[in-house]
Amino acid sequence: MFEIDPDIRKAKTLHADFYTDPAYFELSKEKIFARSWQFLARADDIEGVTPFVILPGMFDEPVITVKTSEWISCLSNVCTHRGKILVEEPCHADLIRCPYHGRRFLLSGKMISMPEFEDVEDFPSEADDLKMLPFAERQGFLFASLEPVDAFEAFVGDVAERFADDEYDASALRLTDRREYEIDAHWALYCENYLEGFHIPYVHKALNAVVDYGSYTTETFRFSSLQTGLGDDGKVAARYLFIFPNLMFNFYPWGISVNVVRPVSPSKTVVEFLTYVRDESLMEKGAGADLHAVELEDEAVVESVQKGIRSRFYKHGRYSPTREQGTHHFHRLIAEFMK
């Protein structure tokens, strides 16, 4: 079931059951999503104590980020007494007090006091502190994980080297737009469509006019892949960085569009689009213009595939060795994580 030949010329694509069988969707929660990294926000966009939910619709895991002048961390947002959510709104605080029975925690997560608990044995213990999540910051982007298979550095260190000489300066980015698209398709179908430019001439006629399809390249790394499209002028028109399993960082001359793919059910996915702009004047030009139209074209084709893979006559396909390296790499990682 989860065998994808490392040789793309011999390999068959992921079996249709992966997308259609609800049991695999359930399994993928722990096997894939709990063990990888999720994007939270940019450090510039949070202050003090900020509540977040990790993967709404899948885990709904309540967490908070804590930002002080010296450090940022990510803690569980669930009181260790009887489970009340601690922080409902972003706030500035020196400590966290549970609104239910008054348990208090330091910003480090350590529990420091609890009324009416004098006679409780073996209290407090470590289990009464708020759990601190594995957390990472890279170029001002913040990430957390539930139980990562590897450090965030291992997820992006190799591909980041590829960016070393580049002009992409993350410091001046401003969040200007945030929107969600709901798609009637399995999350992996959305991702694997993103991972190949093969469909651009067929599905995205307008985009095809500004990207030189012949020069489109895909490089794969341990847990990520990078697609690069050149413009007619021979300059990089767009870079598409995918971090397994569901994060997309799209680099355009104007800034970065971040897409977070959130599985909701085997046939429903929400994709969050976060627009971080550096230079607004460049937004109407090139591959990074009119992302909304491109998104609708992608959604239509992915929703059509969702219907197609249910067919009794479809089990899996084959890959183009020159155009589908990113999709092959993605399927290999799914197979690896699902084992």
* Backbone dihedral region for residue 225 (phi beyond 0: left; psi -120 to 50: alpha; all else: beta): beta
Interatomic CA distance for residues 232 and 213, integer angstroms: 10
Span interacting with ligand FES, options 16-24, 99-107, 277-285, 296-304, rule CB under 6 A = 99-107
The reply to whether 97 sits near ligand FES by the rule CB under 6 A is: no
Q: Which position among 79, 130, 200, 309 is part of the footprint of ligand FES (CB under 6 A)?
A: 79
Pick one of Fe ion, ligand FES, none as the site partner of residue 35 (Cβ within 5 to 8 A by kind): none
DSSP symbol at 31:
I
Spatial CB neighbours of 30, under 8 Å, sequence gap ≥ 6:
none
Q: What SS3 state is found at 189?
A: helix
Pick one of ligand FES, Fe ion, none as the site partner of residue 298 (Cβ within 5 to 8 A by kind): Fe ion
- Shortest gap between Cβ of 111 and ligand FES (angstroms)? 10
Instruction: State which residue, 102 or 201, has the beta carbon closest to ligand FES.
Output: 102
Instruction: State which residue, 99 or 317, has the beta carbon closest to ligand FES.
Output: 99
Pick one of Fe ion, ligand FES, none as the site partner of residue 84 (Cβ within 5 to 8 A by kind): ligand FES
The closest of 68, 86, 67 to 77, measured between CA atoms, is 86
**Bridge partners, residue 91, by sequence:** 49
Instruction: State which residue, 76 or 139, has the beta carbon closest to ligand FES.
Output: 76
Pick one of Fe ion, ligand FES, none as the site partner of residue 310 (Cβ within 5 to 8 A by kind): none
The reply to whether 131 sits near ligand FES by the rule CB under 6 A is: no
Pair 290, 210: CB distance under 8 Å: no
- Shortest gap between Cβ of 185 and ligand FES (angstroms)? 39
Instruction: State which residue, 98 or 270, has the beta carbon closest to Fe ion.
Output: 270
Beginning with the edge strand found earlier in the chain, give each strand of the sheet holding 72-76 in spatial order.
49-54, 61-67, 72-76
Interatomic CA distance for residues 59 and 168, integer angstroms: 33
Report phi then psi at 330, rounded to 5: -65, -45
The reply to whether 82 sits near ligand FES by the rule CB under 6 A is: yes
The reply to whether 81 sits near ligand FES by the rule CB under 6 A is: yes
Instruction: State which residue, 98 or 334, has the beta carbon closest to ligand FES.
Output: 98
DSSP symbol at 221:
-
Instruction: State which residue, 79 or 188, has the beta carbon closest to ligand FES.
Output: 79
Pick one of Fe ion, ligand FES, none as the site partner of residue 318 (Cβ within 5 to 8 A by kind): none
Which tokens in the block code for residue 300?
Answer: 């239509």
Q: Which residues bind Fe ion (CB under 5 A)?
A: 298
- Shortest gap between Cβ of 6 and Fe ion (angstroms)? 26
Q: Which position among 40, 98, 136, 237 is part of the footprint of ligand FES (CB under 6 A)?
A: 98
Report phi then psi at 18, rounded to 5: -60, -35
Which tokens in the block code for residue 93?
Answer: 């605080």
Pair 238, 229: CB distance under 8 Å: yes
The reply to whether 103 sits near ligand FES by the rule CB under 6 A is: yes
The closest of 163, 145, 335, 187 to 249, measured between CA atoms, is 163
Instruction: State which residue, 81 or 268, has the beta carbon closest to ligand FES.
Output: 81
- Shortest gap between Cβ of 193 and Fe ion (angstroms)? 6
Pick one of ligand FES, Fe ion, none as the site partner of residue 316 (Cβ within 5 to 8 A by kind): none
Pair 25, 45: CB distance under 8 Å: no
The reply to whether 101 sits near ligand FES by the rule CB under 6 A is: yes
- Shortest gap between Cβ of 32 and Fe ion (angstroms)? 22
Enumerate long-range contacts of 290-297, CB under 8 Å, 24 or more apart.
290/206, 291/250, 291/257, 293/206, 294/204, 294/206, 294/207, 295/181, 295/271, 297/203, 297/204
Instruction: State which residue, 86 or 247, has the beta carbon closest to ligand FES.
Output: 86
The closest of 243, 216, 186 to 320, measured between CA atoms, is 216
Pair 173, 277: CB distance under 8 Å: yes
Given the rule CB under 6 A, which residues bind ligand FES? Answer: 79, 81-82, 84, 98, 100-103
